[in-house]
Structure 1
Amino acid sequence: MTRKKSTLNKMYDHFLHIAPRYRELRTTDLGPILFITNKLQHLPKIHAVDIGCGTGRYSLKLAQHLGEKCHLFCLDNNREMLRQLKEHFVSNNITNFTPIRSDSHKIPLQTDSLDCVMSFNAVHHFSLQNFLKESSRVLKNNGRLFIYTRLRDQNAKTIWGMHFPLFEKKENRLYELDELKLAFEKDPNLNINSVKFFEHSRVYPLEKLVEQAKNHHYSTFKFYKKHEFREALHRFVQNILNHYDDLDKITWKDQNTLLVIENKQ
């Protein structure tokens, strides 16, 4: 088995296992939702897809903010993630959505059929060039692609990048902005319209951080061997004790990047 296939299988099993608790373990940022909603508000009807939607953390907020004028396709390759998404949408009385189980490089939707393609904190799991090619295919002329992600240098500034041993080194799938820009230069139809940076203030008790790490709320933790993770978690707690006085209010700022891309055919 190749390393790439082994990693893909490991990630599939990780998300299969974590799906029932994923929404409570992860933080969902409202900023990019409001930004995208504002960019699309002029459209009378919206057909959009959320690629790598997971359990629907961002998909649900999009559906709620865009309202009935939007039909949202929710695409993920993990069956348990999609099952959780469907239950989440139904419990929130959202009906204008279609779950689709598929990979990011095989979007089973018609060519030139979508106003918008979105992806939230998932692009590092994709084959980037194939994802961009498929996004360009399904987007209408002047349609938009929104990619919300964390760059490598931003990852280094998180509580995990700063204080959890080897976290920055283990997470080698993230991109830098120049790498993403270079990928778009290779596709003649996709042009970067704008880049927006977000900063989110976080306040968590140490107990919650330890719970998140133990439950592998970031897939990065799956790259640790068991003994390696135990030792790293112990050192993480010691690092927090050395750097913070109030263990009920561990504070830091997370940074994320939103790329707005236009499809020009």
Structure 2
Amino acid sequence: MSSFGKKMVLNKMYDHFLHIAPQYRDLRTTDLGPILFITNKLQGLPKIHAADIGCGTGRYSLKFVQHLGEKCHLFCLDNNREMLRYLREYFIKNGSTNFTPIRSDSHNIPLKTDSLDCVMSFNAVHHFSLPDFLRESSRVLKNNGRLFVYTRLRDQNAKTIWGMHFPSFNKKEDRLYELDELKSALEEDKNLNIDSIKFFEHHRVYPLEKLVEQVKNHHYSTFKFYKKQEFKEALHKFVQNILNHYDDLDKIAWKDHNTLLVIKNRQ
């Protein structure tokens, strides 16, 4: 893709998240599993300074802070001002003050070198320039600090309800990585080494009405890549596919799969 094309995609994504910010938490599912895994890894530290890159409206950020308590201070970074506004309201509403929202891109983290015990990213790394994100994460992490990358791989995306039944969804979503691609990018950074990889399986059950609502509200940015008429036709076909494959339209069940990379920093 040309630099102009990349800029157009970035602008489209910024506008998308600007528009969806007020209802983002209601439209997306927050998985508790990776939070429990990550906080368990960090429990032994007396104090924790961490950053959530691409934090959105704080769905994962707040759960992270709540599980670690007062010994944790979390820097919440996102380049979208509306996402950060709703994050701030969300934290305050839930009585949490040990956070600092920062408007920033993933490739230029405005935090001190060697200052963090942990950097995290939840379902956002496909929006980043991966080499720049890894370089900056390594810079701000302390020696032996950890980077946690929770994501959906390209082959995992194909097994979602959307990948299986929404026309052209897998073709439109070409930003996701395969595991080998992530491993190769990490091999290019001499300071970062994969410590472990954990795979998560999430059982989902939704009524058709909720699924259609999510699509119409573009809960995945992938839907923004459809042209208007194309999107309308794809949604109609999606509903038909669901009717053909499921008997109980109030309990449409499937399994989502995600991957968590645990990466150690050595400087």
TM-score, reference length from structure 2: 0.99
Indicate the residue corresponding to 1:151 in structure 2: 153
Matching residue of 2:128: 126
1:206 CA displacement: 0.1
Question: Alpha-carbon deviations, 1:200-242, whole Å to 9, x = none?
Answer: 0000000000000000000000000000000000000000000
Any residues of structure 2 matched to 1:1-265 within 5 Å, and which? 2-265=4-267
Letter in 2 for 1:247: L
Secondary structure class of the residue paired with 1:200: strand
Pairwise CA distance, 1:174? 0.1
- Unpaired runs of at least 5, structure 2: none
Cα distance, 1:113 vs. partner? 0.2
Q: Deviations over 1:61-93 (max 9, x none)?
A: 001001100000000000000000000000000
Q: Which amino acid aligns with 2:177?
A: Y
CA distance in 1, matches of 2:189, 2:246: 46
2:76 alignment partner AA: C
Q: TM-score w.r.t. structure 1 length?
A: 1.00
Give, in angstroms, the shift of residue 142 of structure 1.
0.2
1:95-147 CA distance string (max 9 Å, x none): 00000000000100000000000000000000000000000000000000000
Whichever residue aligns with residue 18 of structure 1, its letter is I
Q: How many Å separate the matches in 1 of 2:68 and 2:157?
A: 30
Q: Which amino acid aligns with 2:239?
A: V
Consecutive unaligned residues of structure 1, counting only runs of 5 or more, are none
* One-letter amino acid of the counterpart of residue 102, structure 1: S
Work out the CA distance in 2 between the residues paired with 1:210 and 1:60. 28
* CA distance in structure 2 between the aligned counterparts of 1:244 and 1:81, rounded to whole angstroms: 35
Shift of 1:263: 0.1
Q: For residues 229 and 14 of structure 1, what CA distance do their matches in structure 2 show?
A: 15
Q: Post-superposition shift, 1:199?
A: 0.2
RMSD: 0.5
SS at match of 2:260: strand
Report the alpha carbon displacement of residue 18 of structure 1 after superposing the two structures with TM. 0.2
Separation of aligned partners in 1, 2:105 and 2:263: 21
Identity %: 84
